[in-house]
Structure 1
C-alpha cells in the first residue's frame, strides 16, 4: 500500500494535469522551484501544511481535495466545479447570492444538457 506522501503527491499531479499546467508553471505560480513540485508529486518530500496550502491556492482548489485520494476526481466537470467552489469561497454571502442569481438567469436561457 502506498504511503500518504505518495497518495497526496499523486493527487496534486492529477489536479495539476487536469488544469493543463506543467510542473514548471505550478512552481512559478506557487513560488516554489520546479524540482520541489516534482519531489512532492513523487511523494519524496515531506511537505508542510503551509506549503500544501500554497500549492492548493496556486491550483485554485480546496486543500482538502489533496486528501480525496480514495475516489479521485478526474473528470473535467469535477475540476471545473472545484474551481468554481474555490472562487466562491473567497466571497461574502451577498456576492455569492448575486452570482447564484446571475447563474439562474443564464440557465433559464440555456437548454439543459446532461452528459450521462
Structure 2
C-alpha cells in the first residue's frame, strides 16, 4: 500500500511542477480541466487516486502529452550525467519540427549502427 501512495505522490509532484512551470495556479488549472481547485491540490499531494481519464484532462490542460505526467524523477534515484544529457536531447527534439526530428533520428542511427 505504501508503494501505491508513493506513485500517487510522484505523479502529483510532477503535475505540480508542470503547473508551476506553466505559471498556473491550482484554481486556473482546475478551471481549464473542469475540476475544483481543491481536487487539484489533493492530486498534487498524492491524496487522490486519480483516474486515467482525469489525468488525460489534466495533461491536456497543461498542454503536455499524457506520458509527461509520468516523467518524474524519484528523489532516491541519482541522475547520472548521461541521463541529464539524454533528457536535454529529448527536450530539444520535443521543441523541434518533424523535419529536424527525422534528421536527428538518421544522425543518431548513423552514429550507433
TM range (shorter): 0.5 to 0.7
Q: CA deviation at 1:81?
A: 7.2
2:11 is equivalent to residue 8 of structure 1: yes
Q: CA deviation at 1:66?
A: 1.0
Consecutive unaligned residues in structure 1, runs of 5 or more: 89-95, 101-116
TM-score normalised by length of structure 1: 0.61
* Structure 1 runs of 4+ with >6 Å offset: none
Consecutive unaligned residues in structure 2, runs of 5 or more: 74-78, 101-113
Aligned Cα RMSD in Å? 2.8
Q: Which residue in 2 is equivalent to 1:63?
A: 66
Q: Which residue in 2 is equivalent to 1:38?
A: 41
Aligned residues: 83
More helix by share: 2
TM-score normalised by length of structure 2: 0.63
Q: CA deviation at 1:56?
A: 0.1
